[in-house]
Amino acid sequence: MESSTNPALVFIRIFLALIFMGFVYIIWPYISSVIIMLIFAFLFTTIMLKGTDYLERKIRNRGLSVLIMTGAVTSVIIIFISGFASGFMDQVRDFSTQLNQEQTVARMNNTIQNFSASLPDFIQETLPQNRNFADTLKSNIGGLVETLLSFAGAIGSFIFTTIMVIIFTIILLHEYHHFKRSLAGFFPNRYFEVGLRLMYNMEKQISNYLHGQLLAAGSVAVLSIIGLLILNFMGANLTLVVFIGIIAGLANLIPLVGPFVGMIPAILIAFMNNLGSDAALAHVIFGVIPSPFYVLDIVVMFIIVQQIDNNFITPMLVGESVGLHPMMVMIALLIGGTLLGPLGMLFAVPAAGILKVVIQEIMFVSKNAHLL
Amino acid sequence: MENAFWTNVFSRWNTSDNETVLTLKQVPVFHGFTNRDYREIEKLIHERNYKPGETVFKRNAPGEGMYVILTGNVEIFMEDLSGNKNTLAELTNGEFFGELSLLDDDIRSATAIATDHSKLLGFFRPDLFSLLERNPELGNKILLNLAKVIGTRLRKTNELLTETQQR
């Protein structure tokens, strides 16, 4: 006990810690991508662990269970991404072709002018005069198609990262229980059982949180698809409904900001599909509020889905799995967003949850130090 | 001279029991299992080394699992309020302790200290629960053996109680 309070020893420990932090700071640019790959692999491992364990129970072979599980999940992700990408590209291409037709351009300019003329004077004054809306849009869409095609260049690095994440996930899933045991091997005898407790609690916390979030995301996706189909029934003319629903569900994984991100593809597609339609432009919601291209309908639908999710689904599925105060969630999101952008926001809440477990365990240990 | 490469390649063919499996076979909690079962349990076992006088766990500390002595000696004791030591057991190779913690997360009822350089095998509750999820057949075999151990101990306690009452 005395050795830990020795000032010289404390000074040496602080000095070593600073050297270590400096070393990490220097090598960070070289290792950051690998660390992010490992974090993703760890997340996928946590998500797939229960399924793999279940399969292992049925077929009595860990290696085969891991291959079946990763193969199935990878196939679903590939089918989803390729399906959505080709569907969305077709949509953008059709829209671009449509814009090149003179008749559509004239009609669109006409409807836009009619719409702006119907707006109150004070709004009209803020709009630019003598504009050719269709030409501006045409140049922007041309740019969008080029941007989408330029993504092909980045696909090489994306494929490499994806393959590495899959390989790491397969290794982690196969050796998960062995890795856990090896990690426990580093705990000194005195803190061994406490260390094991901390490790298992953290594992449980992360697993519960991720499974709860995924179930909530799935529910949001299903509710969004139902909502979008209802809007279609009302004449919204939305396509790629299943994909939009799944994207909304996945965006929901990022608290607070995600739901708004989920609306964007739906609004874009509503805009592309209904441009040039007088009925869509003149559409009103609740009989009074103008909602051109069903934009407001989509926003209202997503707000309803969010309310159902926030008040019924998430409390039921995720519940107190992380048990953080909403204020702490917001602070964690801000810090995560500032440090790592959207990726940081995705990891912020589980990271704060882990930190909470660690603090709880440290407090427990410090209270029961006489028992160690 | 033995070639390390071929030794590694054919290491899986070597089916002779190692020290850990031989020790586990002596423990009633792990009796009557197949070689495959022992290999599975071996993956969950934590091997720990203790110096003489080092504490394995203290009384009233939360318990996480049981220990089997691979080599060495362990003393189990309780201290009363005035610090007098009451030794409950002195255990050696192949013997086990702390098995009740596999079933509940209650506190330890006594202190365990290594009295010699000791190598212990730890088997912990979360690993047992994880095994029950992945391989319920093997997990249940362990639970059944554990129940038998506790049942035998309860019967002995009852006999002792009866003897004491008769005196």
CA distance linking residue B5 with residue B9, whole number of Å: 6
The strands making up B55-57's β-sheet, listed across from edge to edge, are B55-57, B111-114, B74-79, B85-91
More confident residue, A211 or A219: A219
CA distance linking residue A273 with residue A293, whole number of Å: 9
Residues of B in contact with A189 (CB under 8 A): 48-50, 54-56
- Work out the average pLDDT over A273-294: 75
Q: Is pLDDT at B2 greater than 70 in this prediction? A: no
What is the ipTM metric for this complex? 0.80
Tell me the shortest Cα–Cα distance from A45 to chain B, in angstroms: 15
Q: Among the ranges A228-237, A329-338, B146-155, which has the highest mean pLDDT value?
A: B146-155
Cα A26–chain centre separation: 30
Check CB contact of B12 with chain A, cutoff 8 Å.
Answer: no
CA distance linking residue A181 with residue A199, whole number of Å: 10
Closest CA to A184 of B56, B113, B44, B40: B44
Check CB contact of B54 with chain A, cutoff 8 Å.
Answer: yes
More confident residue, A277 or B90: B90
DSSP secondary structure code for residue A312 in this structure: I
Check CB contact of B48 with chain A, cutoff 8 Å.
Answer: yes
CA distance linking residue A311 with residue A329, whole number of Å: 17
Contact yes or no for B46 and A184 at CB 8 A: yes
Contact yes or no for A371 and B60 at CB 8 A: yes
Contact B75, B90 (CB under 8 A): yes
Check CB contact of B133 with chain A, cutoff 8 Å.
Answer: yes
- What pTM value is reported for the model? 0.70
Q: Which has the minimum average pLDDT: A58-67, A102-111, B118-127?
A: A102-111
Contact yes or no for B46 and A181 at CB 8 A: yes
Contact yes or no for A57 and B126 at CB 8 A: no
User: Tokens 């160690």 belong to which residue?
Assistant: A372
